[in-house]
Chain A
Amino acid sequence: MARRSRDEFPHPPLHAILLIATLITVYPILWVVTIALSGKQSLAIADIPAQPTVSDRIRAVIPWPEKVSMANFTSVMTDQPFGRWLVNSAIVSAATTLLGIFLAATAGYAFSRFRFPGRRTGLMSFLVSQMFPGVLTLIPLYIIVVKWLGLGSTRTGLVLVYTTTAIPFCVWMLKGYFDTIPRDLEEAAMIDGASPIVIFRRIVLPLAKPAIAVTALFSFMTGWNEFILGATLMDKETMYTAPVGLRFFVGGFQQQWGYFAAGAIIVSIPIVALFFFLQRYLVSGLTAGSVKG
């Protein structure tokens, strides 16, 4: 690993560049933390007097609140229906995860292990469906989910839609993983007289645990982060998901930046944590998928 240092750039300028880049990167996040901790609804960090001096202005861009207060966090959870929206999001995402894994694992296994008419078409249809512009399917989805199935403003409707959004990626991911599991074990079990379902449940699924964990997290993130379908299908304020609710705080004529900021932090923490756990797999999955495409 160690190379001769005289051939390398001197480190201090590199650190300077990285420091600046990091500062720019982190600033918006510090900003939102500051607004959240300010205890106020304004999107200004500090009040600026009518005739501001340069120091007033500098104060207004330093991401540190004038007075640190947890008021925004407590009142967004108690006075505002944000707690309810979070629960909605959690239920929807969890259900999406369970349903998504079930569907993707079964389909991925079949695509990996069996050769049957329609296999290629099926696999390709999962891939092509990723290209459908969401807006085109939004109107028909609205008609199907709200008018025909009567699932408007229900979590069930949203779960169904999110699951179908998530499964193409999950199916490809799991199919790829199943492909790497040697078939000897299954063949041995088959000779012992185990049925395909038993083989799938007792042998293949336990071996695929890491890939299933990744698809689970991916499905969860799909449900947790989705905004536009949620905004279209959830009409009732009590049934909003967290993303729809956050937009509700600062969209239109609402300017409740404090609630937005506090809510944004609450929503982001779990997903950022998940992300750092997941990103290694995400990268390999995405690039692998696109090469195959």
Chain B
Amino acid sequence: MNRAPSHRRRFGIGLALGLLLGVGLSALLLVGARRTDARVRGEREAIVTLNAFADVVERAGISGDAVRSAVASWAKAHPSVGAVRVIVLDGISLEASTEPADAGDRAAPRRLARDEKALYDRAQRLRTAVETNRQEGAPRKVEIDVERLEGGALDLARPVERDGEVVGMAEIRTGPPPSPPPFPVGTVLLYLFVPLAAYALAALIFRERRAPLAVAAFALLAGALFLFARQTLSTLEADRLATERAVAARATEEARLAPTLPGVAAAGLDPAKWDTDVFRRPRGAAAGTPPGGAERRGRNVFFGVALAALALTAFFGFGVAARLGRVLSRHHVAYFYVLPSMLAMVVLVIFPFLYGVAISFTDQTIYNTGEPLTRLWTGIDNYREILSDFSITTRAPDGSRVFNYQNFYWTLGFTIVWTVTNVAIGVSVGLFLALILNTAGLKLRPIYRVLLILPWAMPNYITSLIWKGMFHRQFGVVNQMIQIFGGRPVSWFDTPFTSFLTVLSTNGWLSFPFMMVISLGALQSIPGEIYEAARVEGASRWRQFRAITLPSLKPALIPAIIISVVWTFNMFNIIFLVSEGEPAHSTEILITQAYKFAFQQYRYGYAAAYSVIIFLILFAYGTVQNRVTRATEGI
């Protein structure tokens, strides 16, 4: 148990695990990338074939015997293509088909049967897509529908047009794809064993000297990973070139075939137009992503993997793992019990929080969520934008002052006012009612108590929606009551002040029961003899309240106030559902404003920075509060 640790063994294990992680992960990534590439290549080739086929169909006139003979010859020249079909929307007819099922009395041309509605729908969908894209002048809906069938074959469809108008659909089904590239077992084993053998050799020379062993292990690991990465990147580059060549070859072959088909005019055939994306935009060098980007990303990935592998090696080599292992085994029961909940917290609370903090340093919006965060990094720009903008008011063109309600400091000020007024109302109403309820011998007390707690018991989103309804301009009961007394109906959500009153009354209604229950509990724990003694001494009722009641309430009320400040500060539902921030975001609190930035303006980075600031405010509050309560407890 207590023999000296072997540096040789530790670095050996570290190197082995580092290699396993580094090479293994890189190999997995390589295979994944190659499989994706192969799939993309298959799709591109299929799209070229489809476009060529559609071109043939359009040139043969789309409907009639001419098309059927052209399609038949085309299919004969493509033994690898599973089946093709041509649908014409006008008349809902199957114009041509080489589908095995479409033989005998189901042979084309014929009207589509009822059970073939999916085909017709597909053609319709494509026609709508083309029209939408043309109207909006932007590629919004895919014009080539690619479906992956079981076994990996593709089923593609695109519209066919006559004089710029979509009249039908051409469909092809490709044959089964070539088998995907295998996992490079031999290469991986080579990269595992050669460095390990070299390390064994080094270990023989260096014996138990730690520094040279560490250098040897790290150098071998780094060297192996570097070579492997280089080989991988060149493989991927070769794949890319092969794809380009294969696609070009496909197009050339189609271009050679097309004019030989019966009834197909050869004039103006342009094979370069066939290599398109799913929006039928040509995939020239300009349209595609620059190849350098992919390569750089590949390098970054390898760099990350290598760092992780080196860290793993160091972790084992320097004995951290051994120490950790000892701690874990000594306390294994405790960790076993804590693990499930910690895991859940890490995955669904702590990681999202850190990820949110990371987003706050980027300018992520809904439009660039696909990009890695490193590419969107803007440093502290969001924070500077939020915190350095002091212009709560701006001058309108006519010289009058206009409030900018989305300014951070306005919202912060409003949040503070909101919190203070609410807690004040909650405490005073709650305490007042508690004092009354605490009167000795009061009848019906349990009934009052239950009824007065009801608002706390109701789910607060329901409460909010109820009050929203009651403040309705035309039908709400609040305006009806005002009119009973001869007042005019108020448009509650049209000015910041009245809007504030609605959320204030809702939250006041909602929050006083908590304070009441807390105060009542504390009041009931004050022994009656104290009051007795005070009365004997001749203390006035006010003096009794000041000298006995309030001090006894303090230990219960202060924590309750502290926690209700946090609750009110973050009271999302009331603001979000009652005033909805109206008018013009003037009654947003920080938390709802952050939500609006995220889910109405879709500025994720900005909203995240906003939320981090909220967190920091609360954290500062918590720390100060903690210190204050500790100080008061000390007294």
A-side residues, CB < 8 A to B, are 1-3, 5, 7-9, 11, 14-15, 17-18, 21-22, 24-26, 28-29, 31-32, 35, 42-45, 48, 52, 54, 57-58, 60-61, 102-104, 106-107, 109-111, 113-114, 116-117, 119, 122, 125-126, 128-129, 131-141, 143-144, 160-161, 163-164, 167-168, 171, 196, 200, 224-225, 227-228, 232, 243, 246-247, 250, 257, 260, 264, 267-268, 271-272, 275-276, 279, 283, 286-287, 289-291, 293
Q: Is the CB of A31 within 8 A of B433?
A: no
> When A11-B439, A61-B480 are in contact, do A287 and B469 touch as well, CB less than 8 Å?
no
- Asked if A139 and B356 make an inter-chain contact with CB atoms under 8 angstroms apart, the answer reads yes
Q: Given A31-B470, A132-B349, A139-B608, are A21 and B341 neighbors across the interface (CB < 8 Å)?
A: no
A291 engages B452 (CB within 8 Å): no
Q: A119 to B518: give the CA distance in the assembly, Å.
A: 31
Q: A28-B466, A103-B344 given as contacts; is B459 within 8 A of A225 (CB)? A: yes
Distance in Å: Cβ of A273 to nearest Cβ of chain B: 9
Asked whether A45 and B477 contact (CB < 8 A) given A132-B349, A135-B591, A138-B598, the answer is: yes
Q: Give bound CA distance, A160 to B598, whole Å.
A: 23
Whether, in the assembled complex, B484 has its beta carbon less than 8 Å from a beta carbon of chain A, the answer is: yes
Q: Considering residues B333, B355, B452, B477, which has the most beta carbons from chain A within 10 angstroms of its beta carbon?
A: B477
- With the chains together, A15 CA to B109 CA distance in Å? 89
A141: contacting residue among B348, B563, B572, CB under 8 A: B348
Binds A, one of B89-97, B191-199, B269-277, B615-623: B615-623
The 4 tightest CB contacts between A and B, nearest first, are A136-B611, A110-B337, A114-B334, A140-B352
- Among A7, A279, A291, the residue within 8 A (CB) of B517 is A279
Q: Which residue of A lies closest to B592 (CB)?
A: A135
B369 neighbours in A (Cβ, 8 Å): 143
Q: Contacts A42-B475, A132-B615, A144-B347 given: A264-B563 contact, CB under 8 Å? A: no
Among residues of B, the one whose C-beta sits closest to the C-beta of A57 is B484
Interface string of B447-482 (1 = CB under 8 A from A): 010111111111111110111111010011100110
Query: Nearest-CB distance from B6 to chain A (Å)?
Result: 25
B340 contacts across to A, CB distance below 8 A? 102-103, 106-107
With A2-B441, A106-B337, A167-B344 as known contacts, state yes or no: A227 contacts B573, CB within 8 Å.
yes
The listed residue with most B CB atoms (<10 A of its CB), out of A35, A52, A135, A137, is A135
B528 close to A1 (CB less than 8 A): yes
On whether the beta carbons of B348 and A111 are closer than 8 Å, the reply is no
Interface string of B349-375 (1 = CB under 8 A from A): 111110111011000000001000000
B604 touches A139 (CB 8 A): yes
Known A-B contacts: A45-B477, A268-B458. Give 17 more (CB < 8 A): A14-B442, A18-B433, A22-B451, A25-B452, A57-B480, A60-B477, A106-B337, A107-B337, A107-B340, A114-B334, A136-B360, A136-B611, A139-B598, A243-B462, A267-B459, A271-B457, A290-B560
Query: B466 and A160: CB pair below 8 A?
Result: no
CB closest chain-A residue, reference B332 = A116
Minimum C-beta distance from B508 to chain A (A)? 10
Q: In the complex the two chains form, is A61's CB within 8 Å of B341's CB?
A: no
A-B contact count (CB 8 A): 271
Knowing A257-B469, A286-B563, the reply to whether A275 touches B341 (Cβ < 8 A) is no
Q: A5-B441, A28-B509, A167-B344 are in contact. Are A133 and B615 (CB under 8 A)?
A: yes
B612 sits at the interface (CB 8 A): yes
Are B459's CB and A132's CB within 8 A?
A: no
Could you say which residues of chain A place their CB within 8 Å of the CB of B304? none
CA distance A104 to B342 in the complex (A): 10
Chain B residue nearest to A283 (CB atoms) is B517
**In angstroms, how far is the closest chain A Cβ from the Cβ of B324?**
10
Chain B residues with CB under 8 A of A133: 570, 591, 594, 611, 614-615, 618
In the bound complex, do residue B611 and residue A29 qualify as a contact, i.e. CB atoms below 8 Å apart? no
- Within the complex, which residue of B442, B521, B591 is in contact with A283, where a contact is CB–CB below 8 Å? B521
